[in-house]
Structure 1
Amino acid sequence: MFKRILVTTDGSKLSQKAVTTAIALAAQHDANLVALNVIPRYPRDYFEGSMAFSVEDIGRVEKQWADKAQAMLDDVSSRAKESGVRIKTVTANSDLVAESIIAAAKKQKSDLIVMASHGRKGIKRLLLGSETQHVLTHSTVPVLVLR
């Protein structure tokens, strides 16, 4: 039924559940798995909420974030390979997480997105928005949300 499954991960406990489920689905359907981590870009000026840091400091922080993302994806890759699942890992550098997920699903020709619901409630959900909700309402690809 599924040929290519995109799973998003941020390293959280809930996203680990999504990864486990995506690996199991990929194994069950003999599908390829694409693991995605969206790396935020560092705020570049005061109006974006950052302190005044040098270009070198910003570069160092962004490298740390990229290294952390790669470590997460390497872990997902190891787990998938142990289950006999073919996997590709992808990172995206963007503050637009939901849009990056949707774009990656389209680019990778995924026929399912697996992701976690972060369970924001009340005013936080209204103020911060929900990346999962955005993906659900804007993706043309089916989305499986794990809670």
Structure 2
Amino acid sequence: MYKHILLPTDGSALARQACQAGVRLAQSVGATVLAVHVVPEPHPDLLADWLHHDPAHTKRWQELMEQFGEDYLKAVADDARAHQVHCICRKLHGTDVAPAIVRAAVSHGCDLIHIASHGWTGRQGAGAGSVMLRVVQDSTVPVLVCKRTSPLPNG
């Protein structure tokens, strides 16, 4: 069966549910998990700094995105620890999330990607541009799509 499961997270409620389900799957089959979060690369945009009247706006934004990533991965690691599942966390950086997830699965020897059907984009993201769909289309590693298991707040 599966030995090394990749759990991507964007911090959304659905991604948290999918990661929790992925941890339980790993526990049931004796697998380890690799939790990943893709931190968006900042676009060099002096206009944003100027509009915010803060020459360090972009730097602060990037620091905030890094911290969010740490928090999202910590939640997965804490859940894995509580279920006695070995978990490795990796923050990735890039402008395109789906290829980063696929590359991580291949480079870390994962044999399954367990991914939420949508994240921050909600139902609008279920179309051709969704991260999940692109991962399914591009991955050579099997992908298990996790649908919502309970009502989400505000949604």
Do the two structures share a fold, i.e. TM-score over 0.5?
yes
Who is 1:83 aligned against? 83
The AA in structure 1 aligned to 2:70 is Q
How do 1:89-128 and structure 2 match up within 5 A? 89-118=89-118, 120-121=123-124, 125-126=127-128
Report whether the alignment pairs 1:51 with 2:48.
yes
TM-score (norm 1): 0.88
TM-score (norm 2): 0.83
How do 1:1-147 and structure 2 match up within 5 A? 1-45=1-45, 51-53=48-50, 56-118=56-118, 120-121=123-124, 125-126=127-128, 129-147=129-147
SS at structure 2 position matched to 1:135: helix
Report the number of matched residues. 141
Between the two proteins, what is the percent identity of the paired residues?
A: 33
Question: Partners in 1 of 2:124 and 2:44 — Cα distance?
Answer: 30
Structure 2: runs of 5 or more not aligned: 148-155
Query: Structure 1 residues 121 and 56, CA, compared in 2 at 3 Å: closer, same or farther?
Result: closer
Question: Partners in 1 of 2:117 and 2:43 — Cα distance?
Answer: 25
Would you say the 8 A contact 1:15–1:116 is kept in 2?
yes
Question: Partners in 2 of 1:55 and 1:4 — Cα distance?
Answer: 43
Structure 1: runs of 5 or more not aligned: none
Question: Partners in 1 of 2:123 and 2:55 — Cα distance?
Answer: 33
Question: Partners in 2 of 1:100 and 1:8 — Cα distance?
Answer: 10
Would you say the 8 A contact 2:48–2:57 is kept in 1?
no
CA RMSD of aligned residues (A): 1.9
Question: Partners in 1 of 2:15 and 2:84 — Cα distance?
Answer: 21
